[in-house]
């Protein structure tokens, strides 16, 4: 779980740098943070604190060490690595027109491993972030609808909130819709696939 969350922060920072879009939660939080002059890490903590109330009321079984580690750390991990990329010159390099091929390669690499690490952390059974708990709560209420469909709809709502926040932001939209929509369509199915694999090959050893 810890390795997965560290990986999520790292790959999120690369998605931010190539600027082709991020996961829906980060897309929403980046745009809301930019609108109000906050860092991603600070906004992530505030937003998850609000959503944590729903976890306390409806799904205390989803709260664990992973809940707080994700809630508090991922935004700051991404901020930390973004600062490193800036000091190392990667940020400036990726702004150049001739770096487009490298941006595409990094985007494909980062988006794949972000989805895998996100799915792994959510299936580690050590608690999930408040943002990730809400679709699980909804899935429990309407169990006839597959989880991945609920997750996709939920993530698309987060993207919509991010777009709305960007409309009143003088700095414009933070990140592209492309990667955010791809991730919105990918995370739900990935959680299901990785969960089946982990239950068959990893979590069964807990017994």
- Give the angle subtended at the CA of 149 by the CAs of 67 and 27, to the nearest 5°: 55
Provide the pLDDT for residue 200: 75
- Supply the pLDDT for residue 203: 56
Q: Rounded distance, CA 149 to CA 66, Å?
A: 24
Confirm if 125 and 30 have CB atoms less than 8 A apart: no
- The pLDDT of residue 207 is 45
Question: pLDDT 10s per residue in the chain (207 long)?
Answer: 889 999 999 999 999 999 888 888 889 999 999 999 988 889 989 998 989 998 899 988 888 888 988 888 888 999 999 999 999 999 999 888 888 999 999 988 998 888 888 888 878 888 888 998 999 899 989 988 988 889 889 999 999 999 999 999 988 898 888 778 887 888 777 777 877 777 776 655 444
Question: Which residue pairs, CB below 8 angstroms and at least 24 apart, start in 15-18?
Answer: 15/107, 15/110, 15/111, 15/114, 15/175, 15/179, 16/40, 16/78, 16/82, 16/175, 17/82, 17/85, 17/90, 17/91, 17/94, 17/106, 18/94, 18/103, 18/104, 18/106, 18/107, 18/110
φ/ψ region of 172 (left if φ > 0, alpha if ψ in -120 to 50, else beta) reads left
- Rounded Cα–Cα distance for residues 189 and 195 (Å): 10
The pLDDT of residue 205 is: 46
Kindly state the tokens that stand for 190: 């990935």
pLDDT of residue 86: 94
Q: What is the pLDDT of residue 127?
A: 86
**Separation of alpha carbons 201 and 62, rounded Å:** 22
Q: Say what the pLDDT of residue 119 is.
A: 81
* Separation of alpha carbons 75 and 70, rounded Å: 8
**Cβ(71)–Cβ(48) below 8 Å:** yes
Q: Report the pLDDT value the prediction gives residue 156, as an integer from 0 to 100.
A: 92
- For residue 99 the two structure tokens come to 């770096």
Biggest CA–CA distance in the chain, Å, is: 54
């Amino acid at each position: 779980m810890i390795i997965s969350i560290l990986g999520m922060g790292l790959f999120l920072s690369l998605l931010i740098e190539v600027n082709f879009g991020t996961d829906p939660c980060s897309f929403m939080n980046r745009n809301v943070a930019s609108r109000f002059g906050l860092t991603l890490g600070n906004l992530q903590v505030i937003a998850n604190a609000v959503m944590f109330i729903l976890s306390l009321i409806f799904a205390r079984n989803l709260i664990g060490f992973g809940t707080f580690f994700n809630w508090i750390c991922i935004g700051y991990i991404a901020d930390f690595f973004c600062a490193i990329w800036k000091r190392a010159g990667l940020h400036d390099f990726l702004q150049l027109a001739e770096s487009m091929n490298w941006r595409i390669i990094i985007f494909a690499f980062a988006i794949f491993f972000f989805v895998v690490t996100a799915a792994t952390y959510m299936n580690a059974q050590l608690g999930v972030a408040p943002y990730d708990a809400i679709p699980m709560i909804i899935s429990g209420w309407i169990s006839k609808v597959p989880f991945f469909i609920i997750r996709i709809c939920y993530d698309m709502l987060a993207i919509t909130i991010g777009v709305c926040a960007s409309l009143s932001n003088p700095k414009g939209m933070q990140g592209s819709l492309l990667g955010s929509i791809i991730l919105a369509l990918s995370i739900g199915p990935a959680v299901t696939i990785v969960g089946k694999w982990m239950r068959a090959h990893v979590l069964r050893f807990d017994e």
